[in-house]
A and B are shown apart, each in its own frame.
Chain A
Amino acid sequence: MKLSSGDEAADVRIEGESALLDGRRVTFEASRRDGRLEAIRIGEDVFRVRVAREKERVFVWCAGEVREFHRAGRRAARMAEVPGGLVAPMPGLVRRIVAKAGKSIARGDVILILEAMKMEHAIRAPREGILMKIFHREGDLVEAGTALAEIQ
């Protein structure tokens, strides 16, 4: 199974209580209570863990840190579900329009500034293309999920 978390990725195969991590063999013992994973023991080290899964995401608390894991390839597939569209990630006020419609833009270019919950958030182009249209004017209130701009 190919997994990713943040910038890291690994190919993990598990057979019984033996795991292959990118080809490296790691022997472990899994401890559960009422079916819930509570700890992973590797050699002398015991790692307390909590896991929760929500569809294609798994959250793991381990060694004091929380991480989100995805199955490789699936996340990219999900991002592509909005063809040409860029939607507001949260309800807010269109504070400033930065990019110009009709111009070409690079991935990461700021299209507009959305103000929400006392903070300003730069809405950036998810990929390069032509910015066809910006659907709002400065001062407009937008709901989460509202289309903000179209990139072709």
Chain B
Amino acid sequence: MIRSLLIANRGEIAVRVARTALEMGIEPVGVYAEADAGAFHVGRMARAVSLGPGTPLETYLSIPRILEAAREARTDALHPGYGFLSESAAFARAVETAGLTWVGPPAAAMEQMGDKLAARRRARRAGVPIVPGTDKAETDEGAIAKKAAEIGYPILVKPSAGGGGKGMTLVETPEGLPAALEEARHLAEATFGDSRVYLEKLLVAPRHIEFQIFGDRQGNVVHLYERECSVQRRHQKIVEETPSRVLDARLRNAMGRAAVEISRAVGYVGAGTVEFLLDERRNFYFLEMNTRLQVEHPITEETLGLDLVRAQIEVAAGAPLAPAWREGRLQPQGHAIELRLYAEDPATFLPRAGRVLAFELPSGPGVRVDAGVEEGSLVGLDYDPLLAKLVISGPDRSSCIARAHRALEDWVVLGVETNKALLSAVIDSKEFISGDYATDFVPRLTLASPRIPDAAWIAATLSFSDSKTGDVAVSSGEPWDAATGWRSGR
């Protein structure tokens, strides 16, 4: 029986987990770094515990500090969210050793999938196709060069301890291989403390499609359909949708089955995601498994009408998956799209900081916003720049696109530069509307820069010359026509 839940995270995901906990009658307990004491997530908890001063490494990423907070708060379970310590097997073990229920997969499954080389071998043994490449960390340069020639250029050199598109080095020609290997090993050692690297063929313009899987302690593992994640910038997703336009029933079945096989092979329990690449000839390849709740999980929730965080907590407490899940009776309804609002320059993708001066959320049918900030929030550069996720659902894809367009227009975010214009450009693009896009599509987009309307120039000028126009304005005391908001004739 879980009565209180420590949420070892911040931002939108901490708030999202807290909401489900409250609905389940479980007390959500937050944590915060001292500099984060006024952060949005802290106020959404039943109570919150300080992790003390320091960098992210000394707070949200510190296993001893988090465990100390759990002891101090006397919670009986812990949800890691995503990012931070969510994929650390050592953390999962430490949480269980401390006598808390770990709302996540078994540490052994996390270890097997966290080592990308081991995961490739696992997938191959389970009969799941993998991207052509090596599945041993070779050190003999001659053997590597020979293998590279077999695979065919261009090739990616990837860190075995990496994942999520981090620390990859591209090699276009055999001449470039020795330098790339040296650079990749150096980078892998510096970033992950593990210099092992492996080779993978670079697929040209693949689609990135993942399957949500879910397991229970009774040994049931099911898939909850796919998410299309090909809209990326710098190997990071910004827009996801479900269902994918390119999968037919046969391919969906085959990929879903492969995702379940791989998860079963490592004894997976709880929510996980198996990522695949799909090439132009519709061959699919296992890419990696994320052993946690995924950022884009809400689109699965919207089309299946369920709450994945609730299921995570129930499974962690020992409950079996619901009969409808086990018996494959879940059928997705309609369509859903997620758009990630980042604090960043929409053209260069450079992170931006500042204070959120105004934040007005879009609303209406089929519009859900999972936000991690509010008006007045400070956005720093220490953390992931994700501000909020706009989750659109509707009866079909075209209604979702129209709805997303409208909701983006309605969204007021002032004070911090965001990628809102890029998100609009994505959903308005002919590639996205046709559904014919791959992972290389965002960098080729040009941002529309419509002429600035006269009203915007006037509003800006009024603001500069009149202290009353801004959000930090003093009370007006002027004769406004309250019924319409318009000035009475003067």
Binding site for B on A (CB under 8 A): 1, 3, 5-8, 10, 12, 14, 19, 21, 26, 28-42, 45, 47, 49-54, 58-69, 71, 89-91, 93, 95, 116-121, 139, 144
Contacts and interface: CB of A to CB of B under 8 A. Distances in A.
Interface residues of B, number: 67
Given A3-B457, A26-B454, A116-B381, A53 B464 contact: yes
Contacts, number: 197
B469 A53 contact: yes
A34 B463 CA distance: 15
B469 A62 contact: no
Given A28-B455, A50-B414, A53-B472, A5 B486 contact: no
B236 interface: yes
Given A29-B486, A54-B415, A62-B453, A49 B459 contact: yes
B471 interface: yes
B234 interface: yes
Contacts of B457: 3, 10, 12, 19, 21
Given A30-B462, A39-B485, A60 B417 contact: no
B426 to A, nearest CB: 15
9 closest A-B pairs by beta carbon, nearest first, are A64-B409, A35-B476, A52-B357, A47-B455, A59-B414, A69-B460, A40-B455, A53-B470, A62-B456
19 contacts: A3-B464, A5-B452, A14-B465, A31-B484, A31-B485, A32-B480, A34-B476, A35-B473, A35-B476, A40-B459, A51-B470, A53-B357, A53-B463, A59-B357, A67-B460, A89-B381, A95-B187, A119-B234, A144-B381
A45 B473 CA distance: 26
Nearest to B418: A66
Interface in B412-430: 412-415, 417-418, 420-421, 424
Interface in B328-352: 348-351
Contacts of B355: 54
A interface SS class: strand
Interface of B: 164-166, 187, 190, 234-236, 348-351, 353-355, 357-358, 360, 381-382, 384-385, 408-410, 412-415, 417-418, 420-421, 424, 449-465, 468-478, 480, 484-487
Contacts of B452: 5, 8, 10, 67
A28 B455 CA distance: 8
Contacts of B420: 66
Contacts of A61: 358, 412-414
Given A52-B470, A52-B471, A60-B463, A42 B455 contact: yes
Given A30-B462, A62-B456, A38 B485 contact: yes
A19 B465 CA distance: 13
Contacts of A28: 454-455, 458
Nearest to B349: A119
B257 to A, nearest CB: 31
A117 B351 CA distance: 9
A63 B381 contact: no
B351 A90 contact: yes
Given A19-B461, A58-B464, A93-B190, A47 B485 contact: no
A5 B410 CA distance: 21
Nearest to A40: B455
A71 B464 contact: yes
Contacts of A10: 452, 457
Contact of B461 (A1, A52, A62): A1
Contact of B473 (A36, A60, A63, A68): A36
A9 B351 CA distance: 25
A121 B348 CA distance: 9
B421 A118 contact: no
Contacts of A51: 414, 459-460, 462-463, 469-471
Contacts of B456: 5, 47, 49, 60, 62-63, 65, 67
Given A30-B458, A36-B469, 7 more contacts: A8-B451, A14-B458, A50-B412, A59-B414, A60-B460, A60-B463, A66-B412
Could you say which of B351, B360, B414 has the most chain A C-beta atoms within 10 Å of its C-beta? B414
A8 B456 CA distance: 12
A52 B409 contact: no
A37 B469 contact: yes
A37 B463 contact: yes
Could you say which of A10, A26, A66, A68 has the most chain B C-beta atoms within 10 Å of its C-beta? A66
A142 to B, nearest CB: 12
